[in-house]
Amino acid sequence: METIKPHDALTWISGIFEEPPGRIAAATRRHEIAGWDSLGTLSLIAALDERFDINLSESDIEGMQSVDDILAILRRHGAIEG
């Protein structure tokens, strides 16, 4: 499985939601990201599966309310270095 650095994870997440790098931080909430709608959620789910082989549970999906929640999932699955 691929692993990435925490900063690279934020850049990757920004790309999924089509936000400029640096605009998204760990504390950024879902409602602050225009691209994090239902389609954006599907894109995120697909990207996590494709790049990191992470399959989310229903509770994982419902629990993602901030970028930090996404980072926590990546950490839990060993996808973030350190």
Q: Which CATH number covers residue 23?
A: 1.10.1200.10
pLDDT tens, residue by residue, 4-19: 999 999 999 999 999 9
Written as one letter, the residue type at 68 is D
Domain membership of residue 54 (yes or no) is yes
Residue range 59-78: mean pLDDT, rounded: 97
Return d(Cα 11, Cα 24) in angstroms, integer: 8
Give the residue numbers spanning the domain of 31. Answer: 6-76
Q: pTM of the prediction?
A: 0.94
What are the Cα distances from residue 19, in Å, to 14, 22, 43, 52, 60? Answer: 5, 8, 14, 21, 22
pLDDT tens, residue by residue, 15-42: 999 999 889 999 999 999 999 999 999 9
Domain membership of residue 82 (yes or no) is no
Domain membership of residue 16 (yes or no) is yes
Task: Return the axis-axis angle of helices 38-52 and 67-76, rounded to nearest 10°.
Answer: 20
Q: What are phi and psi of 18, to 5 degrees?
A: 55, 45
